C-alpha cells in the first residue's frame, strides 16, 4: 500500500474529510514504511480504533508489527533474571561470590543493549552473601520506565528497515 492509499483508506473508513495539508503530513509520515507493513498497520487501525488515528498510532503499529519496539518492562526483568548467574570461588581463606550475566543466545542486539543499560544503572541483584536485594526488581521496573521511552522513540524515528513479520511469526527475544 502506498502512503496516499493508506491516507485514503483511513479517510474512507473513519468517514473523515482531510485537508490537503493533513494529507501531505500523513503521506510524508508514512513514506518510510514498507508497503505491506503500512497496509497491515492501517488494517489494524481500522479494526481497533474508534477515531481517526494519529500518525504516531500508525507508526507505533508498524513498529510493533515488525518487531522493532523494545520489549515491555516485565519481559526485560524476566530476561535479566534469567541471565543472573552466581558462582562461588572457594578458597581456604573464605569463599567469595562471583556474579556475572549470561545473556540468552540469540537475544537481539537492541534488547541486549537495553538489558545491559538497565543492569549498569541498577547493579547486581544480590549482596555479597548471594542473598537477593530487597526492592531490586522494583528498581529495574523504574529504570525501564525511564529508559524504554528513549529506545522506543529511536525505533519509531526511522521505519525504513522495518519489515512485516510473517504470519504467526513474533519477535523472539529469548530462546
Q: Which has the higher per-residue pLDDT, 168 or 16?
A: 16
Strand partners, 132: 126
pLDDT score, position 80: 94
Please, which residues bridge with residue 86 across strands?
99
Domain residue ranges of the chain, discontinuous segments joined by +: 3-66, 73-157
CA angle, corner 35, sides to 29 and 36, nearest 5? 130
User: What sign does the dihedral 134-138-142-148 (CA atoms) show?
Assistant: positive
Q: 98 or 172: which carries more pLDDT confidence? A: 98
Instruction: Determine phi and psi for 86, rounding to 5 degrees.
Output: -130, 125
* pLDDT for res 83: 95
Q: pLDDT tens, 162-175?
A: 887 765 555 544 44
**Nearest-angstrom CA–CA distance, 73 and 70:** 9
Rounded Cα distance between 22 and 102, Å, is: 49
Overall average pLDDT of the 43-60 stretch: 94
**Which whole-number Å values give the CA distances from 1 to 47, 67, 78, in the listed order?**
17, 19, 37
3-state secondary structure of 59: helix
**How confident is the model over 145-164, as pLDDT tens digits?**
998 998 888 888 888 878 87
Rounded to the nearest 10°, the torsion over CA 80, 81, 83, 85 is 130
Q: Look at residue 26 in the predicted model and tell me its pLDDT.
A: 96
The pLDDT mean for the chain works out to 89
Tracing cell 508514512 back to the chain, one arrives at 30
pLDDT for position 167: 58
Percentage of the chain modeled with pLDDT above 70: 94
Residue 93: band (very low, low, confident or very high) from pLDDT cuts 50, 70, 90: confident
Grid coordinates in use for 137?
526488581
Residue 71: partners with Cβ closer than 8 Å, 6 or more residues away: 79, 111, 114, 173
Amino acid at each position: 500500500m502506498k502512503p496516499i492509499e493508506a491516507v485514503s483508506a483511513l479517510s474512507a473508513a473513519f468517514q473523515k474529510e482531510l485537508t490537503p495539508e493533513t494529507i501531505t503530513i500523513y503521506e510524508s509520515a508514512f513514506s518510510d514504511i514498507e508497503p505491506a507493513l503500512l497496509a497491515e498497520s492501517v488494517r489494524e487501525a481500522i479494526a481497533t480504533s474508534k477515531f481517526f488515528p494519529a500518525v504516531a498510532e500508525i507508526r507505533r503499529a508498524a513498529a510493533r508489527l515488525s518487531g522493532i519496539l523494545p520489549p515491555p518492562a516485565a519481559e526485560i526483568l524476566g530476561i535479566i533474571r534469567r541471565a543472573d548467574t552466581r558462582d562461588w570461588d572457594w578458597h581456604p581463606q573464605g569463599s567469595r561470590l562471583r556474579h556475572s550475566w549470561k545473556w540468552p543466545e540469540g537475544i537481539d542486539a537492541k534488547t541486549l543493549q537495553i538489558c545491559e543499560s538497565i543492569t549498569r544503572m541498577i547493579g547486581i541483584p544480590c549482596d555479597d552473601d548471594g542473598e537477593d536485594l530487597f526492592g531490586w526488581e522494583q528498581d529495574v521496573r523504574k529504570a525501564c520506565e525511564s529508559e524504554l521511552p528513549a529506545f522506543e522513540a529511536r525505533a519509531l524515528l526511522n521505519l525504513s528497515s522495518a519489515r512485516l513479520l510473517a504470519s504467526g511469526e513474533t519477535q523472539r527475544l529469548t530462546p
